[in-house]
Amino acid sequence: MYVGEDGIENIWDIWIDKHSRPEEETAGTSPEAIRARGVLRVGTAGDYLPMSYRDPDTGEYVGFDAELARDLAKALGVEIEFIETSWPTLMEDTLAGKFDLAICGITITDARKEQALMSEGYLENGKTVLCRTEDAGRYTSLDAINRPEVRVMENPGGLNEKFARDRRGGRDDHRDP
């Protein structure tokens, strides 16, 4: 991962944009506070490859965001501690101060920006359909998926759930993983 020529303070400003809110709202999460504590606490659902995934066999977190968090901790000169959260409790856990930052492919939304600091986006991606190979020809558009006989699964509590429900007219004919 690339830390940047301007050092960690510049990366921190980009990642957490601490200047957009009063200093008292970022208490305990500044680079100085984290260095003094000796550990960067990172909240993640750990269920979202390729971003941040907890390997059930090793307990290790892998993925793009997990590596980015490790690089940030290394640049700060501290240890890293991954703290499990979930999509339904992500904002609650963030606001409760259970970790210094949350990372796991979190979508920037106005509702989230009203409650917490959010970095600039560093990756764009979209929704995708996962189905059995033999069914791939059946699901080539949202209209093909948005039929009562099609069962949809998404992770609960996140924007994927909202996307699925909005696109399916609020029907509750889906399954959680």
Sign of torsion over alpha carbons 68, 72, 77, 80: negative
pLDDT digits (tens, 9 = 90+) for 128-169: 777 889 988 888 888 888 888 887 777 666 666 767 777 766
> What is the reported pLDDT for 147?
82
Q: Does domain 133-175 have CATH number 3.90.170.10?
A: no
- At the fourth CATH level, the homologous superfamily of domain 8-115 is Periplasmic binding protein-like II (3.40.190.10)
Note if the pTM is more than 0.85.
no
CA distances from residue 114 to 21, 111, 119 in whole angstroms, order as listed:
11, 5, 13
Contact yes or no for 176/153 (Cβ under 8 A): yes
Q: What is the rounded average pLDDT for all residues in the chain?
A: 78
CA distance 132 to 140: 13
Determine the angle formed by the axes of helices 64-76 and 8-16, rounding to 10 degrees.
130
User: Where, residue-wise, is CATH 3.40.190.10 in the chain?
Assistant: 8-115, 133-175
**First and final CA of the chain: distance in angstroms?**
32
